[in-house]
Amino acid sequence: MKKNQQSIDGFTPRRRVDSLSRDNSYEKIAKKPVSNTQVQPRITENEHSKKAKNREENLNEDIESALQNLEIEEVQENERKERIASKKQRKLLRKLEKKNLKREKKGKEALSLEQFKRRRISGRIFAIILSILIIVGGYFVYKAYKDLYKITNGNVIGAVFGEKKKLKADSNGRTNILLFGTSPKGWDGENLTDSVMVVSVNQETKKIYTISLPRDLWVKHTCRSWLGTTAGKLNETYGCSYYDAKNSGSSEEESEKAGQDSLAKKAKEILGLDIQYVVHGNWKVLIDAINSVGGIDVKVEAYDGSNRVYDVATKINYKSGETYHMDGETALAFSRARGSAGGVGLSGSNFDRERNQQKILKAAFSKINEQKTNPITLLSLASSLGENIHHSFSGDELKTAAEIAQDFNGGSITSLPLVNENDQSANYFTTGLINSVSAVLPKAGTYNYSQIQAYISKNTIGSEVIKENAKIKILNGTNYSGLAAQEQKKLEKEGFNIQDIDSAPKRDYAKTKIYYVKEDSKTATIKNLESKYSTKAEKLPSELSKIGEDSDIIILLGEDNGN
């Protein structure tokens, strides 16, 4: 046998094909498994049909099994419900049995099961309704309490259940309340007063006077941190003191009080009236209060003789002399109209606006009193006030004020106008320029309020006092020089007829005395003076009879009046 030859390049030469048959490696190749790509045997149509039939049979078996399970669960649920119903029925029957035993003891006829069921249903419905009423009622009680808490400055108990506390009053027995309005917080000019009004109330005669002050009246003020001025318009006074207090570290409540006190002091300086209380509201008070009573009826008048009242800025347009029903928004627009360019019937500008504000106040007062027994109205009114008002009444005083207010009506309110276009002698203001700024000025001179004070005093001390025109003589019974002259000046401003002043025979009187010459004469004046000097009038003693010959009343001033 020949040896295997090697090729030239060192590789073994290829063998012939026939030699592979004798090689084991061929057998190994032949035994390798067939790949997946090899063709599978073809399934016949009968085999397909048979498999589909088997699947359908299996599906039907599954559905049948599921339905059987549902039926079993339904039967079990029904059995459970029957057990519960049976238990409830037994419980209900036991309750019915107890109920009928009680009825039997009272001699009443037994109830059937159906009757008992109906009564239980009615009881449940009643309980649900009662629960709803309690929840709703609780909400309104809570809301009313919150509103009253705000209105009464936290003294709800005193306002509702406290004893009636007499309101503070001046020497003439009048309670003077300063009302002023601003825009709500966050609005432009929020601390500029849109309106300033004093309401003077006589609790005994039930007579109310209203006096509006011009917002553009030029006054002295202290305004360090806001405007940096020492004088300006009246509508800046509240804001000046508010910001001065705020910027010095005072709280919101303290700053509010500082603003109120400053404006009250200025109102007293102008009108000569002591201010006992202050009420500050924003214009939402007017809107909400009027809406809460269903609107008000106001007679619109053009004071300059025009046939209509039209304001471009507020868009009001009415026939003069007609009465119109106004809601809160309309009343606000009417109260703010002051004759912007292009308007008609408001030539008095701010003066017309002040008169219209008094009309709205009077109409609102009347309407509120008409509906004072309506709880829904009162709740709505309390809500509007609670959110938008600040005042200086205590809770007890607020209760008194509310009770007094019930006795008043629109007819008991009298306006004391400080401007009268038809009578120049009754005009106490004029207009002019201060540092190139248009302003309202007293006719008597800048910062001179003597004429205004005399007019207010004459009208607020009472028509009966004016009518009596009692002749009064003042005697100085002290060592204070000029005391009688000082008292004369003050009383004349208030409208009293001071006939003469003199010194008393003795100068050691401790208490001021009021003497009348004739009994049951000049009673209104005597009553007024008794209140003013906190003393009881007496018959003129014989030692003073010569001094009082030509007088109706003698005022003998004592040490208590000199301090």
On whether the CB atoms of residues 532 and 172 are closer than 8 A, the answer is yes
Taking residue 454's Cβ as centre, other Cβ atoms within 10 Å add up to 17
Contacts for 390 with CB less than 8 Å, ≥ 6 apart: 256, 260, 279, 280, 281
Same domain, 358 and 426: yes
**3-class DSSP state of 287:** helix
Which pTM does this prediction carry? Answer: 0.61
49 belongs to a structural domain: no
Last residue of a domain, one of 451, 486, 503: 451
284 belongs to a structural domain: yes
- Distance, in Å, from the CA atom of 214 to the CA atom of 350, rounded to the nearest integer, reads 7
Q: How many domains does the chain have?
A: 4
Same domain, 469 and 392: no
Same domain, 278 and 371: yes
Which pLDDT belongs to residue 3?
A: 47
Question: 3-state secondary structure string, 417-430?
Answer: CCCCCCCHHHCCEE
**DSSP string of 525-547?**
HHHHHHHHHTS--EEPPGGGTTT
93 belongs to a structural domain: yes
Last residue of a domain, one of 451, 480, 504: 451
**DSSP string of 197-266?**
EEEEEETTTTEEEEEEE-TTBEEEEEETTTT-EEEEEGGGHHHHHHHHHHHTT--HHHHHHHHHHHHHHH
Last residue of a domain, one of 451, 479, 498: 451
Same domain, 227 and 132: no
pLDDT (tens, 9 = 90+) of the chain, 563 residues, equals 444 444 444 444 545 444 444 444 444 444 445 444 455 555 566 666 666 666 766 666 767 777 667 777 776 676 676 666 677 777 777 777 887 787 777 777 887 877 766 766 665 655 555 544 444 444 444 444 455 555 555 554 454 445 667 788 887 788 999 999 888 777 777 889 988 999 898 877 778 888 989 999 999 999 999 999 999 999 999 999 999 999 999 999 999 999 999 999 999 999 999 999 998 888 887 888 888 888 999 999 998 889 999 999 899 999 999 999 999 999 989 988 887 788 898 888 878 888 888 888 888 877 877 765 455 555 555 555 656 778 787 767 776 776 666 666 656 778 888 887 666 667 899 999 998 999 999 999 999 999 998 888 878 876 678 778 899 999 999 999 899 999 998 888 777 889 999 999 888 899 999 999 888 788 888 988 988 888 999 999 988 888 888 899 999 999 988 66
Same domain, 205 and 326: yes
Which pLDDT belongs to residue 136?
A: 45
488 belongs to a structural domain: yes
The amino acid that residue 242 corresponds to is Y
Helices (H), 282-405: 283-292, 328-336, 350-370, 375-388, 395-405
Same domain, 228 and 246: yes
Which pLDDT belongs to residue 558?
A: 92
195 belongs to a structural domain: yes
Contacts for 20 with CB less than 8 Å, ≥ 6 apart: 26
Same domain, 411 and 360: yes
413 belongs to a structural domain: yes
88: left (phi over 0), alpha (psi -120 to 50) or beta: alpha
**Domain with 123 in it:** 112-151
1 belongs to a structural domain: no
Residue with tokens 């007019």: 455
- Distance, in Å, from the CA atom of 379 to the CA atom of 460, rounded to the nearest integer, reads 34
On whether the CB atoms of residues 521 and 468 are closer than 8 A, the answer is no
Same domain, 98 and 143: no
Same domain, 216 and 348: yes
Q: For residue range 99-125, list pLDDT tens digits in order.
A: 778 777 777 788 787 776 676 666 565
On whether the CB atoms of residues 509 and 557 are closer than 8 A, the answer is yes
280 belongs to a structural domain: yes
Same domain, 412 and 515: no
Same domain, 246 and 364: yes
- Distance, in Å, from the CA atom of 75 to the CA atom of 65, rounded to the nearest integer, reads 15
CATH number of the domain to which 352 belongs: 3.40.630.190
CATH number of the domain to which 539 belongs: 3.30.70.2390
The two structure tokens encoding residue 252: 């919101």
**DSSP string of 377-433?**
HHHHHHHHHHHHEEE---HHHHHHHHHHHTT--GGGEEE--S--TT-GGG--EEEEE
Taking residue 272's Cβ as centre, other Cβ atoms within 10 Å add up to 19
Q: For residue range 33-90, list pLDDT tens digits in order.
A: 544 445 555 556 666 666 666 676 666 676 777 766 777 777 667 667 666 667 777 7
Same domain, 187 and 288: yes
